[in-house]
Structures are given as C-alpha cells and as structure tokens.
C-alpha cells in the first residue's frame, strides 16, 4: 500500500474573493498542495459562497492545481456534472442530507472525480462506516460548517483516531479552526489532509505556517510508520 502523504489545503473562504486567482496563486506559491473550495447553498448551511462558474474560471487560471470542492449543499448530486465540467479533482460532499450515499459516490467517480465524505460535528463517524470503502477521503469537520474563523473542536479527534485505527491507509481530512496552535491534536489523531483557512491566509508568513503544519503531520506519519 502507498505510504500516507501529508497534504495541506488552504481554504480560500477567508481570502479576498475579489482577488480569488491572485490569492489562490499566492497560496500555491506558499507551498499548498491543493486548494479547498467551500461551496455553500444557503440551505444546508446558512451561508452562500460561490458555485461552479467561479470554480471553472479558477481552473482556467490554475490548470495544474489540485482543486477540492467542499460541497455544503442540500442536494450534492445536482452539482456533480457542473463541477466535473469545471475540472474539479475531488468532490467532497456531506452525507447528512443524502438519501442514497452510494449513488452519489458512484456518480462522482463516473464523472472522473475523487470522492470525499464529509461529516458535521454532531454526526457519528460510524454512520458512514458502510460507505468508507467507496470514498477516497473522509472529512471530519472540526467546526460547524458554514462560516470561517470558528474555534477548533478538540472533541472531534476521537473520530479521526477511530478512522485511522480502522482504515490505516485512508486519507483523513480535518477542517475548521486548524492552525499552529491546534495542528498537533490533528496530527496525533491521524489526520493527513489539513485544511487551514484563517491561520494561513491572515498570517504574516504563509509559507512558514504551511511548513509548520506539514512538519507536525509528517512527524506523526513517520513515527507511526516506524512502529
């Protein structure tokens, strides 16, 4: 099996969205492995961001970047084809509003994208156990989805640990309040894909913050690999 790889994906939610391409390029130049794009419909979460036309414009400017869309939407199957047309690499959707999670997973794969399963803080990780084998990644939210800048919820770490213990080669992502002060909790629990918004974007030295996050995760990956 391939070795787990640390990936840092800044969330652009707290960036200057009027300068989306410039901000995104700055993050990639700072060492980001991918960009985490928060798509909200104002229904599943009480906020509204942007949709596939914006993502498509961004893809045209960044042809080689890995783009993950975090679909905080009530009807995730509706946006699969448009996001595939925008050449999104990974389509991460919330299981909570879905009647047929396997169908959504299959449609995402048929559209040529990787599958991410996301769960809110109040959702038990065992509720997605039947679907994990259909996914490329599981996202454990460490804040309530919908807004940036919230406080990290440390009590979500047992979910990450359960996933890592039961699926040692799975990509596990954390999103919400993650930065230099909270990264060690995530790394020790077993997360290897790190979404960080405010802590990177508002930092005086974003490359330094990304480097710090990466070092914390790689330290744990290497420790576990040597056991």
Residues assigned a catalytic role: 38, 175
Widest CA span of the chain, in angstroms?
A: 47
Answer for the pair 120, 93: CB distance below 8 angstroms, yes or no: no
What single string gives the DSSP state of each residue in the chain?
-PPP--EEEEBGGGS-GGGHHHHHHHHHHTT-S-EEEEEEBSSSSS-B---HHHHHHHHHH-TTS-EEEEEE-S-GGGGHHHHHHTT-SEEEEESTT-S-HHHHHHHHHHTT-EEEEEE-TTS-GGGGGGGGGG-SEEEEESS-TT-SSPPP-GGGHHHHHHHHHH-TT-EEEEESS-STTTHHHHHHHT--EEEESHHHHT-S-HHHHHHHHHHHHHHHHHHHHH-
Answer for the pair 200, 29: CB distance below 8 angstroms, yes or no: no
């Amino acid at each position: 099996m391939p070795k787990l790889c640390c990936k840092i994906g800044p969330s652009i939610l707290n960036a200057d969205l009027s300068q989306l391409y410039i901000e995104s390029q700055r993050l990639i130049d700072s060492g980001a492995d991918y960009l985490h794009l928060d798509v909200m419909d104002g229904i599943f979460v009480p906020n509204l961001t942007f949709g596939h036309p914006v993502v498509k414009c961004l893809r045209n400017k960044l042809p080689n970047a890995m783009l993950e869309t975090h679909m905080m939407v009530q009807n995730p199957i509706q946006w699969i084809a448009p996001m595939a047309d925008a050449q999104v690499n990974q389509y991460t959707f919330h299981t909570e509003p879905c009647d047929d999670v396997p169908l959504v997973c299959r449609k995402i794969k048929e559209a040529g994208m990787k599958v991410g399963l996301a769960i809110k803080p109040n959702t038990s990780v065992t509720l997605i156990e039947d679907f994990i084998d259909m996914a490329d990644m599981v996202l454990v939210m460490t804040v309530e989805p919908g807004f940036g800048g919230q406080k990290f919820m440390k009590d979500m770490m047992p979910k990450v640990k359960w996933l890592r213990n039961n699926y040692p080669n799975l990509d596990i992502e954390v999103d919400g309040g993650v930065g230099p002060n909270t990264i060690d909790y995530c790394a020790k629990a077993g997360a290897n894909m790190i979404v960080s918004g405010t802590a990177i974007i508002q930092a005086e030295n974003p490359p330094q913050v990304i480097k710090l996050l990466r070092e914390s995760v790689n330290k744990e990956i290497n420790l576990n690999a040597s056991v």
